[in-house]
Structure 1
Amino acid sequence: MIPVIEKCRNACRKAPKRIVFPDALDVRVLHAANELQQRGLAKPVLLGNPFEIRDYAHNAGVAVPCFSIVDPAHSAWRDSFVSTHLAENEAMSRDEGHRLMTDPLYFGAMMVKLGHADICIAGNISTSGDVIRAAIKVIGVEGGHKTVSSFFLMSSADGGDFRLFADAGVIPEPTIEQLADIAIDSARAFEALTGEQARVALLSFSTKGSSQHPAARRIREAFELAKAREPSLVIDGELQFDAAVVPSVALKKAPESPLKGNSNVLIFPSLEAGNIAYKVAQRLCNYMALGPVLEGLAKPMHDLSRGCTADDIVDVAIVASCLGNKE
Structure 2
Amino acid sequence: MGLIEQIIARAKSNKQRIVLPEAEEERTLTAADRVLADDIADLILIGNPEKVHALAKEKGLTHIDKATLIDPLNYEKSEELAQLLQKLREKKGMTIEKARELVKDPLYLGCMIIKTEGADGQISGALSTTGETLRPALQIIKCAPGITCVSGAMLMITDKPEYGENGVLVFGDVAVTPMPDANQLSQIAVCTAQTAKSVAGFADPRVAMLSFSTKGSASHEVVDKVVEATKLAKELDPSLKIDGELQADAALVPSVGTKKAPGSEIAGKANVLVMPCLEVGNIAYKLVQRLAGATAIGPILQGIARPVNDLSRGCSVEDIYYLVAITACQAMDAKK
Residues in 1 aligned to 2:109 and 2:64: alpha-carbon distance in whole angstroms: 23
Query: Quick one: which amino acid aligns to residue 28 of structure 2?
Result: V
Shift of 1:157: 5.6
Query: Quick one: which amino acid aligns to residue 176 of structure 1?
Result: A
Deviates more, 1:264-273 or 1:290-299: 290-299
- Match of 2:85? 85
- Match of 1:18? 17
Residues in 2 aligned to 1:297 and 1:26: alpha-carbon distance in whole angstroms: 25
Residues in 1 aligned to 2:235 and 2:86: alpha-carbon distance in whole angstroms: 39
Deviates more, 1:79-88 or 1:229-238: 229-238
4+ runs deviating over 6 angstroms: none
Shift of 1:61: 5.0
Task: Structure 1: state its 5+ residue gaps.
Answer: none
Against the structure 1 CA distance between its residues 52 and 78, is the aligned structure 2 distance closer, same or farther, given a 3 Å change threshold? Answer: same
**Which of 151, 171, 181 lines up with 2:187 in the alignment?**
181
Shift of 1:325: 1.9
Q: Secondary structure at the match of 1:237?
A: strand
Residues in 1 aligned to 2:231 and 2:277: alpha-carbon distance in whole angstroms: 18
Residues in 1 aligned to 2:160 and 2:76: alpha-carbon distance in whole angstroms: 48
Shift of 1:158: 8.5
Query: Quick one: which amino acid aligns to residue 37 of structure 1?
Result: L
- Match of 2:197? 191
- Match of 1:5? 4
On the 8 A contact 2:16/2:120 being kept in 1, the answer is yes
On the 8 A contact 1:82/1:97 being kept in 2, the answer is yes
- Post-superposition CA distance 1:223-267 (Å, at most 9, x none): 111123333322111111111112222223222322131211111
- Match of 2:173? 167
- Match of 2:73? 73
- Match of 2:255? 248
Query: Quick one: which amino acid aligns to residue 41 of structure 2?
Result: A
Q: Secondary structure at the match of 1:151?
A: strand
Query: Quick one: which amino acid aligns to residue 156 of structure 2?
Result: M
Residues in 2 aligned to 1:155 and 1:305: alpha-carbon distance in whole angstroms: 20
Q: Secondary structure at the match of 1:102?
A: coil
Calculate the aligned-residue CA RMSD, in Å: 1.9
Residues in 1 aligned to 2:315 and 2:277: alpha-carbon distance in whole angstroms: 23
Against the structure 1 CA distance between its residues 307 and 255, is the aligned structure 2 distance closer, same or farther, given a 3 Å change threshold? Answer: farther
Shift of 1:31: 2.0
Q: Secondary structure at the match of 1:121?
A: strand
On the 8 A contact 2:151/2:173 being kept in 1, the answer is yes
Shift of 1:63: 4.4
- Match of 1:292? 299
- Post-superposition CA distance 1:79-137 (Å, at most 9, x none): 11111110011111222112211111111111111112111111122111211111101
**Which of 137, 140, 143 lines up with 1:141 in the alignment?**
143
On the 8 A contact 1:168/1:275 being kept in 2, the answer is yes
Residues in 1 aligned to 2:282 and 2:267: alpha-carbon distance in whole angstroms: 25
Matches within 5 A, 1:1-327: 2=2, 4-60=3-59, 62-63=61-62, 65-66=64-65, 67-90=67-90, 91-156=93-158, 160-193=166-199, 194-326=201-333, 327=336
On the 8 A contact 1:112/1:300 being kept in 2, the answer is no
Task: Structure 2: state its 5+ residue gaps.
Answer: none
TM-score (norm 2): 0.91
On the 8 A contact 2:208/2:267 being kept in 1, the answer is no
- Post-superposition CA distance 1:40-60 (Å, at most 9, x none): 111122111111222334445
Residues in 2 aligned to 1:228 and 1:43: alpha-carbon distance in whole angstroms: 37
On the 8 A contact 1:122/1:304 being kept in 2, the answer is yes
Query: Quick one: which amino acid aligns to residue 87 of structure 2?
Result: A
Shift of 1:10: 2.4
Query: Quick one: which amino acid aligns to residue 153 of structure 1?
Result: L
Residues in 1 aligned to 2:122 and 2:243: alpha-carbon distance in whole angstroms: 34
Q: Secondary structure at the match of 2:64?
A: coil
Shift of 1:64: 5.4
Q: Secondary structure at the match of 1:325?
A: helix
Query: Quick one: which amino acid aligns to residue 147 of structure 1?
Result: C
TM-score (norm 1): 0.93
Residues in 2 aligned to 1:157 and 1:121: alpha-carbon distance in whole angstroms: 29
Query: Quick one: which amino acid aligns to residue 171 of structure 1?
Result: T
